[in-house]
A and B are shown apart, each in its own frame.
Chain A
Amino acid sequence: MGQTVAEKIISHHSGRSVQAGELAIVSVDGVMATDATGPMAIKAFHEMGGETLWDAARVSMILDHATPAPNEKIANLHKLLRDFAAETGCHFYDVGEGICHQLMVENAHVRPGDIFLGADSHTPTYGALNAFAAGVGATDLAAVMFTGKTWLKVPETIRIELVGELPRGLSAKDVILTLVGLLGVDGANYMAIEYTGEAIRNFTLASRMVLANMAAEMGAKTAFVDPTGLKLWYDWTPTYADADAQYAQQHVVDVSNLKPKVAVPHLPSSVKDIDAVAGTKVHQAFIGSCTNARLEDLQMAAQVLRGKKIARGVRLLIAPASRRVFNDALSDGTIQILSDAGATIINSGCGPCVGTLGGIPGDDEVIISSTNRNFRGRMGNPNAQIYLASPAVVAASALTGQITNPTDVLDTTSEWEVL
Chain B
Amino acid sequence: MLRGRTHVYGDDIDTDRIIPGKYTKTLDMSELAAHVLEDLDPNFSKIVQPGDILVAGKNFGSGSSREQAPVALKRAGIAVVIARSFARIFFRNAINIGLPLVEVKHHTIRPGHEVEVDLIGGVVHNLTTGETYQATRMPSVMIDILNAGGLVNYLKTHRDYKL
A residues bordering B, Cβ < 8 Å? 23-25, 35-37, 39-40, 43-44, 47-49, 65-66, 73-74, 77, 118-121, 123, 135-140, 142-143, 146-147, 149-151, 153, 185-186, 189-190, 219, 221, 267, 354-356, 373, 375-378, 380, 382
Contacts and interface: CB of A to CB of B under 8 A. Distances in A.
B65 A121 contact: yes
A36 B15 CA distance: 14
Contacts of A39: 27
Nearest to A24: B163
Given A23-B141, A189-B88, A356 B62 contact: no
Contact of A146 (B59, B87, B155): B155
A246 to B, nearest CB: 20
Interface of B: 12, 14, 16-17, 20-22, 24-27, 39, 58-59, 62-68, 85, 87-89, 92-93, 96-97, 139, 141, 150-152, 155-156, 159-161, 163
A149 B68 CA distance: 23
B33 to A, nearest CB: 16
Contacts of B63: 121, 373, 375
Contact of A186 (B59, B64, B160): B59
Given A136-B65, A137-B66, A373-B63, A149 B89 contact: no
B62 A377 contact: no
- The residue among A24, A149, A221, A375 with the most chain B CB atoms within 10 A of its own CB is A375
A36 B69 CA distance: 12
Contacts of B161: 25, 143, 147, 149-151
B60 to A, nearest CB: 10
Contact of B65 (A25, A37, A49, A77): A37
Given A65-B25, A73-B26, A151 B152 contact: no
A147 B139 contact: no
Given A147-B160, A189-B87, A221-B88, A40 B151 contact: no
Contact of B16 (A43, A47, A186, A376): A376
A377 B20 contact: yes
B96 A356 contact: no
Contact of A219 (B17, B67, B68, B88): B88
17 contacts: A35-B25, A44-B151, A44-B152, A48-B155, A49-B155, A120-B64, A136-B93, A139-B67, A146-B155, A147-B155, A185-B12, A219-B62, A221-B88, A355-B21, A373-B14, A375-B14, A376-B17
A137 B67 contact: yes
Most buried by A among B20, B67, B92, B160: B67
A254 B151 CA distance: 45
A291 B64 CA distance: 14
A188 B26 CA distance: 31
B58 A186 contact: yes
Nearest to B28: A73
A277 to B, nearest CB: 21
Contacts of A378: 16, 21
A262 B22 CA distance: 26
Contact of A138 (B12, B16, B58, B67): B67
